[in-house]
Chain A
Amino acid sequence: MSDDERIARETVAKVSRLARLALTDDEIDETTAQLAKMLDHFADIDALELADVEPMTQPYPLRNVFRDDVERAVLDRSEVLAQAPKAVDGRFEVPPILGLEES
């Protein structure tokens, strides 16, 4: 199967944009080819009869790992904010958010 059929170049470009990765055109070509090879590898699974196999959501045989609803120590605000590029009035200051909604 060819690279183009496994994954479209446009898909790679879109996903890299969503992940805020500034890929050049050459890098997108390269990544598309690499991802296609990986998908080829995964496609081997298609050859198996898996209808009766329960999907595995975790490799660990664990479920229901909880903590009790009890307060624990918090971090020191001044220490944390001292590591931020900018802080104002006990809060992190970040560049203005454009084109998105207020939360």
Chain B
Amino acid sequence: MSGTSSDTFLIDGADGSYEMVVGLEVHVELATATKLFSGSPNRFGDEPNTHIDPVTLGLPGALPVLNRHAVELAMRIGLALNCTVQPCTFHRKNYFYPDMPKAYQISQYDVPLNVDGWLDLPDGTRIGIERAHLEEDTGKSTHVGGSGGRIHGSASSLIDFNRAGVPLVEIVGRPDIRTPEQARQYVNELRAILVAIGASDAKMEEGSMRVDANVSVRRPGDELGTRCEIKNLNSVRSLGRAVEYEARRQVALVEAGERIRQETRHWDEGDGRTHTLRSKEDADDYRYFLEPDLVPLDPGDEWIETVRAGLPPLPAARRTALAETTGAPADGEAVMVVVDRDQDAYVLAVGEAGGDVARALVHVKEAYAEQGAEPTVPAADLAALTTMEVAGELTATQAKQVLAEIVANGGGDPAAIARDKGFEAMDTGALEVMVDEAIAAQPAAWEKFCNGEDKAVGALVGAVMKASQGQADGKAVTALLRARRG
């Protein structure tokens, strides 16, 4: 069938395989206080139609005025994605839809704010960014009287204009993605960047980050095939499933000698398929023209450099720094999770407090992965704990128990807690005796181990752990047994 690693994903045909080609378009709502062209609040979750004004409703004579902070956030996005930020203009994109009362959306067309950048995935793949332009969001339609809020068969639609005019940046990626895993990584990395630079809260589940996927298939090295655009991708997981389903659907069509029609398709999470939404034939008839109510935007070098200088370290750089300090791989789970949760500075602080950063990294990662909690422990306490571990004064199991207690109390002296729990380090002499006893009690296991059956060590280590009532360090016991075997 096909590979599942991030660097190859081929779909077999009867006569050779196909690769998928994916380009993602991501809309993000900017974290401004107000809308792009008016002073109504930009806030999610309020009562419908409470963030409305003459500009939002497209009332006659209302004029848009550009929100400076929205421009600055859009510039941050462009610069974080290695784009060129340039003088630009706004256009009207004309179409009739009730969630767009002016009958046009103000967007950018041939000269957008940000062009020609890239985003590097954690696996090292570079994905081109064609453009990242500013535009306004539409209102929200709810279809009633039909089944399940979908359009088909609804009796009427209800419109809430709170979202209309909210500033968006549309980030258009180049078709450089070749696997479902890369598509997922792209969205995760983009989200991490957007959050880090304060441009957006980038929540797919609240719609502040929306992803459309352009998918085509081809023989490796061939020209690009006909693409379909997939909508309704509400999670990173849906995205991965949808692009894989769509690529396989297209390969099946090609293999059957059929033509792929360029169209917009809708992902259905329930049945795990994409369905035709509309053909693409008339979709580009937006009759763009320059927005006469807005003047050109020219950020200028000074503003651009000020924004660039104000960017915080990006997630990739933070992962590299954490990886270098801890010795863990930069694209490993621990580093990814800890930077994603903004706890890398804490781990590094444990190091500055004299602790062991590698162990601190694992503890903080486990706090998320296994307990779902944020460590609110003073860095000095975790530093002291890791120092005890490194010195062999606590086993890994004991350290976890001590840490759990420190976390529960919001801090504490690990040495005192270890004493209270009766965790005393086994001295090597006592351990040697227990190892002798374990070998004597299980000569068969020892013989197997000596004959190269490494698995047999488990029974011996288990016996020592039991004899020590869990206080022995499993790794130390294994090392002792290996040394004995010679």
Q: Measuring CB to CB, which residues of chain A are less than 8 angstroms from any residue of chain B?
A: 14-15, 18-20, 57-58, 60, 62-75, 77, 80-81, 86, 88-103
Contact = CB atoms under 8 A, between A and B. Distances in A.
Contacts of A20: 96
Given A77-B52, A98-B151, A103-B99, A69 B67 contact: yes
A65 B295 contact: yes
Nearest to B152: A98
Given A72-B40, A89-B158, A96 B68 contact: no
12 contacts: A62-B295, A66-B67, A67-B67, A69-B68, A75-B57, A77-B47, A90-B49, A94-B98, A94-B159, A101-B264, A102-B150, A103-B138
Contacts of B244: none
Interface in B84-104: 87, 89, 94, 96-99
Interface in B280-320: 285, 287, 290, 292, 294-298
A101 B52 contact: no
Contacts of B298: 63-64
B41 interface: yes
A89 B66 CA distance: 31
Given A66-B68, A74-B40, A74-B41, A101 B151 contact: yes
B148 to A, nearest CB: 11
B395 interface: no
A94 B157 contact: yes
B49 A81 contact: yes
Contacts of B71: 66
A73 B40 CA distance: 7
Nearest to B154: A96
A58 B296 contact: yes
Given A70-B34, A80-B57, A101-B278, A96 B49 contact: no
Interface residues of B, number: 63
Given A69-B34, A103-B140, A92 B50 contact: no
A71 B285 contact: no
A100 B278 contact: yes
Contacts of A94: 98, 156-159
Contacts of B146: 96
B141 A103 contact: yes
A81 B96 CA distance: 20
A20 B103 CA distance: 11
A15 B66 CA distance: 30
B391 interface: no
Contact of B48 (A18, A60, A89): A89
Contacts of A98: 151
B433 interface: no
A14 B145 CA distance: 33
Counting chain B CB atoms within 10 Å of each CB, which of A20, A60, A70 scores highest?
A70
A71 B40 contact: yes
A95 B143 CA distance: 10
A92 B158 contact: yes
B142 interface: yes
Given A75-B57, A96-B157, A103-B99, A90 B47 contact: yes
B462 to A, nearest CB: 59
Given A91-B159, A95-B157, 7 more contacts: A72-B34, A75-B54, A94-B158, A96-B156, A97-B157, A101-B151, A103-B140
B253 interface: no
Contact of A71 (B33, B48, B54, B87): B33
